Structure 1
Amino acid sequence: MSHRLRSLRSVLLSCAVAAAALPALASQAAAQQQKPPAKPPAAAPQPLKDPVVATVNGQPIRLSDLEVAQQSLPQQYRNMPLQAVFPALLDRLIDSKLVVQESKKNKVNDDPAFKKRMAFVEDQVLQDFWIQREIARQVTQEKLQKRYEERLKAMPPEEEVRARHILVATEDEAKALIAELKKGAAFDKLAKEKSTDKASGAEGGDLGWFKKSDMVKEFADAAFALKKDGLTETPVKTQFGYHVIKVEDRRQAPPPAFEELADQLREEMAREVVTAQIDKLRADAKLEKFNIDGTKPEAATDKPAAPAKPAAPPAPTKPSK
C-alpha cells in the first residue's frame, strides 16, 4: 500500500509541476510570436571522435574502450554495430571498472599469483598480436588470388545436369507416371499434381543444376546415365521413395568464384604462415626440455645393449624306475 501511495504521489507531483509550468510556457510562446524571427542557430559542434561515455568514481570510460571490449564478445556480437550492444556493454565496463578499483584498493595486484597470471596473459596478447601481424603481412590479396588460380588448375572439371523429378510412394505409381509421360503428358504438370516432394513439385519438379556428389547414389547414377531430354525407363528407388527423372540439360560445371573460396584459402594460408614462422623460430632457438620434476632426462646412449646371457640348460634328472 505504501508503495502505491508513493507512486501516486510521484504522479500527482509530476502533474502539478507540469500544470504550474503551463502559464509560463504560454507566456513564452506569446512573447516569441511578437519577437522578430531569431537568427538561425549556429552549427552544432562536431562530436568528439573518442568521447567519454561514462565516469566511474571520476575515472573516464571512452568510446574506444567499448570498441576494444566488443572484440572480446562472441562472434555474433562482434559483427553487430556498436550502437546495438552499447547499453549492455557500457554496464559491463562500469561493473568491471568498479571491481578493478576495489581490487587495487585492496592491493590484489601485489599478489604473486596475480603477477604470474598477468605475465601469462601478457604473453598470450603478445602472441596473438604477432600472429595477426604476420598473417596480415604475408596473406595479401595478390597471394590469395594466385592461390585461387592454382586451386582452379588443380580442380578437375565436373559435369552437372539439370533435371526434374516426380517422387511417389510406390513403384506402381511411378510406372503409371512413366507411361503417361511417354504418351505426351507434361512433366511439370504431373510433378505439381502427383509429387510428394512438395518443394520441387511446386516448381514442376525442377531440381536445378547439380553435381553427382550432390545427390544420393541411386538417384545420381540414374540421372547422370541419361542423355539430354532423357527420361528414366523404370522407377528409381531411393530411401525417399520412387522417382521418375527427366534430364533437361548437361554441362561442365562452372568453376567456383573467388568469393566462394576466399575464406577457405585465407584460413589455409594463415595456418601455413604461422606454422612456417614457428618452425623457423624453433630452428634458430636453443631449446632444452626437462622431466616433470625438473630433472634432466637421461641422455640416450649410442652403445648397443649387451646381449642377454642364454639361460642355463636344466639339470638332467634321473630316469624313474
Structure 2
Amino acid sequence: MKHLRFRSALCVPALRFSLTALLPVLALSAILSAFPAAAQTTNAAPQTKPAEQVAIDPATTVVATVGGEPIFLSEILQQIQQLPQQYQQAPMEQIYPPMLDRAIDSRLIAEAARKAGIQDRDEVKVRVKRAETDIISEVYMTDIVKDAVDEDALRKRYEETIKGDADAGEEVKARHILVAKEDDAKAIIEELKKGADFAKLAAEKSTGPSGSSGGDLGYFTADAMVPAFSEAAFAMKAGEFTQTPVKTQFGWHVIKVEDRRAVQPPSFEQVQPQLAQDMTREILTKAVEELRSGVDIKRFGPDGSELQTK
C-alpha cells in the first residue's frame, strides 16, 4: 500500500518545488516513505543535545560540494520550509538525507542545463525576467508589511477594535432539557419546583445532545439560539428556570439560567492571526493605491483596443 500513499501525496497542491515534478521523485519518495515513521515519533520525548554542541550558521555551513561548489545548510532548510506542514514536522534525521540528495541533483541538473545553453533561449530569458519581477516585488511588499505589522501594532489594534468594544452585549450560561411533548416538559417543571436537580433530570430525560452533560449549553449570546429560546433565557435571572415549557422547532424546552455576564472578548492570542491578516491586507492595498497614484496607466483588451477607464 506504500505506493498508493506516495501517489496521493504527490497530488497535494502545496508541494511546490522549484524543479519540475519529475526531477525530485527519488528524494520525494524517500521523504514520503519516511513520514509514517516520523508521525509515530512526533510525540516522543525530545532528544537531549550534547553539551558540547554549538550553534551553527546555516549560511556558512557547507553540507555538500558538487564539482567543488558548496551547498550550504541554508539551502536545505529553505527547501524543507517549502514542504507541506506535515512533512516539515518530521524529525530532521529522516527528512535531511532526501532533501540533501535533492539539492545535489538540482545543482547537477542546473549545471548540465547551463552547459547546454538553456539560459540563452529567449523563452527562458522571459521566464527568468518574470521570476525576478515576482521575487523582488514579493520581497519589497514583505518589507513594507514587516515594518508595520509587529506585535505592538497588533496589540494596539486588538485594544482598539476588540477588547475596547463597549457594545459587545450580554451572554448567559444556561442548561436545558429537551423533550418531544409539552406534557412531559410540564411534568419536569413540577419536579424542579419540588427541588429536583436540573442537571440530573437533564441527563435522565433530555433528548438533546447536551443531555449527557446535564443539559449544559455553556455561555451564549442571544443571536446564537433560535428566537423563542433566546427570549426565554434572556428574560430570566441567574438561578431561575422557565415556569412554562418553551416551544421551538426542536421540541419543548425547560431552561435554567445559571449566570449572566457581559460578553467576554477573545484573547489576543486567539485573534492575532486574523488581526495580522487584516492589517496586512490594508497595508498592501494602501501601498498599491499609492503606487498607482499619479501614474499614467492604460488598459487594453485581448484585441489590443484600449479599454475605457470607469
SS for the counterpart of 2:172 is strand
The corresponding residue for 1:68 is: 78
Aligned to 2:178: 167
Contact 1:171 1:235 in 2 (8 A): yes
C-alpha distance in 2, partners of 1:215/1:80?
43
Residue 222 of structure 2 is aligned to residue 212 of structure 1: yes
* TM-aligned CA distance change 1:177 to 1:287, over 3 Å: same
Superposition RMSD on alpha carbons, in Å?
Answer: 3.2
Give the 3-state SS of the residue equivalent to 2:195 in structure 1.
coil
Distance in 2 separating the partners of 1:137 and 1:105: 42
Report the residue type matching 1:61 in the other structure. Answer: I
Match of 1:194 among 192, 205, 223: 205
The answer on whether the counterparts of 2:298 and 2:307 sit within 8 Å (CA) in structure 1 is no
Alignment gaps of 5+ in structure 2: 1-50
**In structure 2, what is the Cα distance between the partners aligned to 1:89 and 1:109?**
25
Residue of structure 1 aligned with 2:287, choices 263, 269, 277: 277
- Residue deviations 1:69-88 (CA, integer Å, cap 9, x gap): 23323355557775664344
User: Per-residue deviation at 1:130?
Assistant: 0.9
Q: Provide the identity percentage.
A: 46
Q: SS state of the match for residue 254, structure 2?
A: strand
- Mapped partners of 2:115, 2:292: distance in 1: 43
Tell me the secondary structure at the aligned position of residue 178 of structure 2: strand
2: CA distance between counterparts of 1:45 and 1:267?
38
1:129 aligns with 2:139: yes
Return the offset for 1:250. 1.0
Given candidates 34, 54, 57, the residue that maps to 1:49 is: 57
Q: 1:231 aligns with which of 221, 241, 250?
A: 241
Contact (CA 8 Å) 2:186, 2:244: kept in 1 or not? yes
Asked whether 1:157 is paired with 2:168, we answer yes
- Equivalents in 2 of 1:68, 1:125: separation in Å? 15
Gaps of 5+ in 1: 1-42, 301-321
CA–CA distance in structure 2, aligned partners of residues 298 and 236 of structure 1 = 61
What is the number of residues matched between the two proteins? 257
Structure 2 partner of 1:242: 252
| Contact 2:175–2:217 (CA under 8 A) maintained in structure 1 | yes
Equivalent position SS for 1:196: coil
TM-score (norm 1): 0.68
Q: Is the 8 A contact 1:67 1:82 kept in 2?
A: no
Question: How far is the alpha carbon of 1:140 from its aligned partner?
Answer: 3.1
**TM-superposed deviation, 1:113:** 0.9
Distance 1:154 1:206, change over 3 A: closer
Could you tell me which amino acid in structure 1 is paired with residue 279 of structure 2? Answer: M
